[in-house]
Chains A and B, each alone.
Chain A
């Protein structure tokens, strides 16, 4: 396989990482909370996606509804837990979120929800074409992932930079008290922020479910650590940083395995990259002092 094929596969992996981590970055940016339960939202999104897809048979509708459901779950999580911990030390919401993650995952594993078995998500590439060039091939599933990731990131960029919601969000990210004192409705801003971030997690869950053709209750485990490597590497709370970090990790993992093989598991490679970068850039790639 040519290096171009490796690169295109790495870009698909990067797109998945970006979707996993961008929602988390948004939450961290405003709340400064390490939102582990984000990984549970990802699983719920995938589960909702596969259920709706099985019922109606339309992938795009399933993706949209799964994102809405995930977004609403995000708001419920915020209003039900973190809302009461805004003034507590940061370890309090962190521990709450770990508990929440374990609880939701175990609950999902019950027979009346997902059950213990993996489910297939046979949406294929949602009817998208296979792209074949001389240097690389993208399967319909890979085209789907790249397309959705780019579209959602573009949408997010517009929301954050061109709308009042985005302005409020950026204000709150810089200084919560100050933003509140100049009239930003903090609760609404944070709730919306959770909604959008969680919807992105839901989209990531659906896409990974389709990509690997499997949805299961513990699929969020990967997100629960991988996404954190990405947001630390990117510079806590920096969205462009998270995107850059996703690409670096995906390329590093892919090329190391393709050239020298599994000298280390991919996750260990990711941590290694994190440690090396942090030695030279302790605030992450695009983080601020």
Chain B
């Protein structure tokens, strides 16, 4: 009988590994599947300029991957409706990487070798993006990471750029927000236990020390957590006036709702992981008063931000999120690079991007410039949830703060 039990346990472990692999962005099992590609070309015939994108449209990250793909497609459509680039239409080629590094790597090869794209976009998470970046770099094809924020991505080489804000910058701005704008004194930190959360928290803590903030509690929780009540009890005992909680929108919605249920009175400060209309939909009234740092200012009167928000809503009947805006901007950047370079030559495109100055044609902009490390310098916004929507709260433009 004990042999049978052993067999069952083995089976369960195998099962958990098989089924649970969808839980971990960094997991690298499962044989690389032949990803079903779908070309979303305008059927005009003749030559097109091909841009490749990989994003997870199945699996646990499907929401973000779909937002990224839809927004990128919107940018391509808008550019083509305006006559394309150099008389040619753009063509977006998408494959689903399920946010898995091994799939992202094989997709990168496919995009480069088979589809012969002139540039690539990562609409996926850090793990998958880090796997694909070296392949683009080696082939000499420029790649832009839309919203994956791991520092190593751009360190891959001189062809790899980023649209999103580095965690080290965003964490620093978060501390500035708490210390100088909200004027909090006692801070509790709740960190999502992955690259994203840990990098943010480290930057936050470094700057919080400079500002003399008192960190009264620090806790980490796993990705996908839904039950925050026990930890909220601990936070309440520490009696902070601000909680800096790194999270994606689903964890954030659960945390914020349960904090309200349990009577936690501190101001909750989040960051771009919260930046989705889904956060407000899922958290409901509990979301009111939550403040986040993000790249997307929904009250902006910049024409491109307005156009993007309006067109996205019109096309997909959903409100746009930060992830989508970033992928949209990646396409805009590539289009700008090709136009400025006057060709699809990789080195010329890279040169054009490196020389970029006060670029306004992006939804999450303006982009002041790219650093030599190919990180974008841009103002960072604080948004507050009011009456069921994100609204402008504060803008950070101090170069010391926002330069990576």
Cβ contact within 8 Å between B12 and A213: no
Which residue of the partner chain A has the closest CB to B18? A98
Decide yes or no whether B115 CB sits under 8 A from chain A.
no
Decide yes or no whether B234 CB sits under 8 A from chain A.
yes
Decide yes or no whether B2 CB sits under 8 A from chain A.
yes
Decide yes or no whether B11 CB sits under 8 A from chain A.
yes
Bound form: Cα–Cα A98–B225 in Å: 23
Q: Could you tell me the dominant secondary structure of chain B's interface residues?
A: helix
- B198 contact set on A, CB distance < 8 A: none
B266 smallest CB distance to A (angstroms): 14
Within 8 A of A (CB), among B198-241: 219-222, 224-227, 229-234, 236-237
Which residue of the partner chain B has the closest CB to A124? B284
Bound form: Cα–Cα A282–B65 in Å: 44
Bound form: Cα–Cα A255–B20 in Å: 25
- A212 contact set on B, CB distance < 8 A: 226, 253-254, 282
Decide yes or no whether B397 CB sits under 8 A from chain A.
no
Cβ contact within 8 Å between B233 and A6: yes
Bound form: Cα–Cα A254–B222 in Å: 14
Bound form: Cα–Cα A101–B15 in Å: 11
- A118 contact set on B, CB distance < 8 A: 63, 250, 278, 282
Cβ contact within 8 Å between A221 and B227: no
Decide yes or no whether B367 CB sits under 8 A from chain A.
no
Within 8 A of B (CB), among A267-289: 267, 278, 282-283, 289
Which residue of the partner chain A has the closest CB to B227? A13
- B261 contact set on A, CB distance < 8 A: 139
Decide yes or no whether A166 CB sits under 8 A from chain B.
no
B-contact bits for A52-91, CB 8 A (1 contact / 0 none): 0000000000000000000000000000000000000001
B5's partner among A1, A13, A282 (CB-CB below 8 A) is A282
> Given A9-B229, A109-B58, do A116 and B63 touch, yes or no (CB 8 Å)?
yes
Which residue of the partner chain A has the closest CB to B249? A118
A-contact bits for B254-265, CB 8 A (1 contact / 0 none): 100100011000
Cβ contact within 8 Å between A120 and B227: no
- B230 contact set on A, CB distance < 8 A: 6, 9, 253-255, 257-258
B57's partner among A39, A116, A218, A222 (CB-CB below 8 A) is A116
Decide yes or no whether B85 CB sits under 8 A from chain A.
no
Cβ contact within 8 Å between A101 and B19: yes
Cβ contact within 8 Å between B226 and A218: no
Cβ contact within 8 Å between A120 and B233: no
A271 smallest CB distance to B (angstroms): 9
Decide yes or no whether A157 CB sits under 8 A from chain B.
no
> Given A94-B11, A117-B278, A213-B257, do A122 and B284 touch, yes or no (CB 8 Å)?
yes
Bound form: Cα–Cα A223–B357 in Å: 51
- A102 contact set on B, CB distance < 8 A: 19
Cβ contact within 8 Å between A258 and B318: no
- B283 contact set on A, CB distance < 8 A: 213
Decide yes or no whether A170 CB sits under 8 A from chain B.
no
B356 smallest CB distance to A (angstroms): 32
> Given A1-B262, A34-B11, A257-B230, do A98 and B19 touch, yes or no (CB 8 Å)?
yes
Decide yes or no whether B368 CB sits under 8 A from chain A.
no
B284 smallest CB distance to A (angstroms): 7
Bound form: Cα–Cα A267–B227 in Å: 11
**What is A's interface to B at a CB cutoff of 8 Å?**
1, 5-6, 9, 13, 34, 36, 39, 91, 94, 98, 101-102, 106, 109, 115-118, 120, 122, 139, 212-214, 216-218, 221-222, 224-225, 228, 232, 236, 253-255, 257-258, 261-262, 265-267, 278, 282-283, 289
Within 8 A of A (CB), among B316-335: 318
B273 smallest CB distance to A (angstroms): 14
Cβ contact within 8 Å between B63 and A261: no
Decide yes or no whether B22 CB sits under 8 A from chain A.
yes
Cβ contact within 8 Å between A224 and B231: no
Cβ contact within 8 Å between A221 and B23: yes
Cβ contact within 8 Å between A120 and B284: yes
> Given A118-B282, A139-B261, A282-B2, do A236 and B18 touch, yes or no (CB 8 Å)?
no
Cβ contact within 8 Å between B233 and A5: yes
Within 8 A of A (CB), among B62-106: 62-63, 65-66
- The tally of residues in B whose CB lies under 8 Å from a CB in A reads 51
Decide yes or no whether B181 CB sits under 8 A from chain A.
no
Ranked nearest first, the 8 interchain pairs of A and B with the lowest CB-CB distance are A1-B233, A116-B62, A265-B222, A258-B230, A257-B230, A225-B16, A224-B19, A116-B66
Bound form: Cα–Cα A236–B63 in Å: 36
Cβ contact within 8 Å between A214 and B253: yes
> Given A5-B233, A120-B281, A214-B282, do A225 and B15 touch, yes or no (CB 8 Å)?
yes
Bound form: Cα–Cα A116–B57 in Å: 7
A-contact bits for B115-131, CB 8 A (1 contact / 0 none): 00000000000000000
Within 8 A of A (CB), among B1-55: 1-2, 5, 8-9, 11-12, 15-16, 18-20, 22-23
Bound form: Cα–Cα A195–B80 in Å: 53
Bound form: Cα–Cα A218–B21 in Å: 12
Which residue of the partner chain A has the closest CB to B262? A1
A218's partner among B60, B65, B66, B262 (CB-CB below 8 A) is B60
Cβ contact within 8 Å between A262 and B221: yes
For B22, B60, B224, B318, the residue with the greatest tally of chain A CB atoms inside 10 Å of its CB is B60
Cβ contact within 8 Å between B9 and A217: no
Bound form: Cα–Cα A16–B355 in Å: 57
- A253 contact set on B, CB distance < 8 A: 227, 230
Decide yes or no whether B59 CB sits under 8 A from chain A.
yes
Cβ contact within 8 Å between A1 and B237: yes
Cβ contact within 8 Å between A267 and B281: no
- B237 contact set on A, CB distance < 8 A: 1
B95 smallest CB distance to A (angstroms): 16
- A106 contact set on B, CB distance < 8 A: 58
Cβ contact within 8 Å between B5 and A283: yes
Which residue of the partner chain B has the closest CB to A261? B219
Cβ contact within 8 Å between A266 and B66: no
- A91 contact set on B, CB distance < 8 A: 11
Cβ contact within 8 Å between B12 and A34: yes
> Given A9-B229, A117-B63, A217-B62, do A289 and B11 touch, yes or no (CB 8 Å)?
no
A15 smallest CB distance to B (angstroms): 13
